[in-house]
Chains A and B, each alone.
Chain A
Amino acid sequence: MAVARPCTNSDCPFDKTGECVEAQDPESCPYRGGRVMIADLPDDAPVEAIREISELDTESDVEMEAEGLSLRAGTRLLAADCRVLREAEETHVISILAPKDAGKTSLIAGFYEIFLEGTADGFSFAGSDSLFSFENLCHLSRAASNRTQNDMLRTRRAEGLGFFHLRVDHGDRRVGLLLGDRPGETVREAAQGIGVASTLQELKSSDAIVYLIDGALLSNLETRHLPLSDAEAILETLSAAGVLNHRPSLALVLTKADVVETAGGGAQFEDIVQSLKDRFGDRFAVVESFRTAANADSTDAALPRGHGLNVLMVFLLGLKRPLASGGAACIEPGRQYSRFGRRGGAI
């Protein structure tokens, strides 16, 4: 069955060099319009079409080969997938809260790139059910996109809540991390009322909240007070909505620390951390602060790309599961946590 169609193999240099990367005869190359192979047919191709081009004998052989086996999608996980993972192995749910453009996507991609670039320190990659989505996420910061400035795909509102999965070996422990990814708009809206805040149900099952302080806003005279004000509004509303009653850990994470470093706004971050600890410390099991530069430009920035992510990762890997209630345990970075008991929640 000869079907004429353009070459669909983006790796093939045939048009330039005359050499087919698949070593196919151009007349018969399935990518260039020659004989169609079974695997080139759409998934819903009729059995007759498959039979016509195949050497398979029986109808069941044809159906089996055409269908193939559907594998794991490798994309962001849904809450139901997370439940399965949590039942199977130690897995920490991390809710990353950030207003729009604070650097949430860069942080998630940065965690992944620690492993990809081999810069993980004290822990290592042991698998992921979201590799395909991680790669998609990183595309705009890669040379393959032909861009010359690092950028990230934004989480669109329509995408809603999803989780990026990493499985990490840390000492003799294997820990799964589910990094909650929710559009920044919906996080910002949580500050506008308890009704909205209570819809962030995944927080009830989170082992840690990672709240991002946008370093770019801190470095701007007009916006520098906004991060603290926003954080207070969002955390207060979430608390009132009851989604933090189980007292998860809280990581206050400065993003774009390279920008802050250049602008000299570092002390202000410390003030924000202290203010939030004073106001919310008793509602979290642990409060720690981190400075990160997940997507800093590798040559122009004051801090290297990925700065601070190793330390934050170790914190997330070492989390103990929160109690449903209990006293505060604010500690400084690097100190040990107190022991916590079982967790509750929907995920």
Chain B
Amino acid sequence: MTTRNVFMAGLPDAGKTTFIAALWYLVFSRTPGLALSFGSLENVDMAYLDNLRSQWVQAKKLERTKIGHEKTALINLVAPNGSQLRLSLEDFAGEGFRRMWTRRRASVKVAEQARNADRHLLLVNVGKVTYPISAGELRNQLAGLPAGEEAAFDARKCPTAVQVTDVLQQLIRDPISASPKKIAVALSAWDEVAGDGLSPAEVLEERLPLLSQYLKSLSRHHEIKLYGLRAQGASYEDPAARDKVLTVPKPIDRIVLVEDDPNAPTHDLTRMLAWLLD
């Protein structure tokens, strides 16, 4: 059985851990009709995946992955042609990716894994986007109310599109020099934008135009595919939304994956992996 590494990147709160949890639930529960189905359990420590599954099923907010406490998900999958593969997904801390922007440093492990994986998965939370709002727009919003005390430049508060674009640049350019053949970009928290009826490409262009343009430029040398992803069901910061998620009859119905057509969602997260690993 061959092991395929998928390098997963994303800023804090991008939904990386939730994606793994939903994926594992989907596969382990032997949901029929998946593009990639459950293979077998191995004699490896399953506590990490088991804990994620348990938390996810109960619609509990998953803990953020902390720097120095990254975990690797090893999932055995079977392709439709019967071939078996072991998917290796490292759940790196989002804060580590943020530091690539704010501190201009990357951990050696992130650099190595990015370089060694020829398939990358980038998650971007489109429900929590920091936009480049101008001072003039702020004045209009305040409508005469006083603004706060002048704030110094804080790289953490820069627009989301800039931070994500720079992380992607840094992964591809030296000294990391990753060269993924394929990059899947999952726009997470899709429930926040699903009502607009837009495709993932349109949402990206509307909400994160800098990233949208950069990805188009990368498509000269890398295969890029965009997805809308809802792996959690709703934001659990809103108790009513979480309660609604809990009333959904089957946990699988919380999951949504959108490809090109926003009107044709699927629950099958493995379609994205099947494309990546093909």
Contact = CB atoms under 8 A, between A and B. Distances in A.
A164 B134 CA distance: 21
A1 interface: no
Please tell me the size bucket of the interface on A: 35 or more
Interface in B135-191: 135-142, 147-151, 153-159, 161-162, 165-166, 169-170, 173, 175-176
A68 B218 CA distance: 26
Interface string B54-84: 0000000101101110000000000000000
A36 to B, nearest CB: 10
Contacts of B106: 68-69, 71
Interface stretch (A132-140, A225-233, A335-343): A132-140
Contacts of A117: 132, 209
Given A37-B67, A68-B108, A147-B150, A120 B213 contact: yes
Contacts of A167: 217
A146 B149 contact: yes
A7 B154 CA distance: 15
A315 B95 CA distance: 40
Given A39-B96, A54-B68, A127-B169, A11 B135 contact: no
Given A69-B108, A145-B135, A127 B140 contact: no
A22 B64 contact: yes
A239 to B, nearest CB: 38
A54 B109 CA distance: 15
B235 interface: no
Contacts of A54: 68
B135 A147 contact: yes
Contact of B210 (A39, A116, A138): A116
Nearest to B151: A146
A221 interface: no
Nearest to B168: A127
B108 A65 contact: yes
A14 interface: no
B68 A124 contact: no
A143 B212 contact: no
Contacts of B95: 22, 39
B104 interface: yes
Nearest to A149: B135
A100 to B, nearest CB: 22
B214 A127 contact: yes
A126 interface: yes
A22 B107 contact: no
Contacts of B217: 124-127, 167, 169, 174
A118 B217 CA distance: 14
A84 B205 CA distance: 32
Contacts of A132: 101, 104, 155, 166
A188 interface: no
Interface in A1-48: 10-11, 21-24, 37-39
Interface string A281-313: 000000000000000011110000100000000
B150 A149 contact: no
A19 to B, nearest CB: 9
A147 B66 contact: no
Contacts of B156: 10-11
A73 B135 CA distance: 27
A305 B136 CA distance: 10
B134 to A, nearest CB: 6
B111 interface: yes
A299 B132 contact: no
A68 B107 contact: yes
Contact of B170 (A38, A71, A142, A300): A71
A74 interface: yes
A295 B200 CA distance: 31
Contacts of A150: 134-136
Nearest to A43: B105
A146 B150 contact: yes
B216 interface: yes
A148 interface: yes
Contact of B135 (A10, A115, A143, A169): A143
Contacts of B132: 113, 116-117, 138, 142
A39 B65 CA distance: 14
A65 B12 CA distance: 20
A118 B136 contact: no
Nearest to A153: B153
Given A10-B157, A115-B210, A143 B137 contact: yes
Contacts of B107: 39, 65, 68-69
Contacts of A24: 66
Given A68-B107, A144-B154, A74 B166 contact: yes
A115 B161 CA distance: 11
A64 B105 CA distance: 12
Interface string A169-211: 1000010000000000000000000000000000000000000
A101 interface: no
Contacts of A143: 133-135, 137-138, 141
A299 B175 CA distance: 44
Most-contacted residue by chain B among A70, A73, A136, A146 (CB, 10 A): A146
Given A23-B64, A37-B66, 9 more contacts: A37-B68, A72-B104, A73-B104, A116-B210, A118-B213, A125-B210, A141-B134, A147-B147, A299-B140
Interface of A: 10-11, 21-24, 37-39, 54-55, 64-65, 67-74, 113, 115-118, 120, 124-128, 131-132, 135-136, 138-151, 167, 169, 174, 297-300, 305
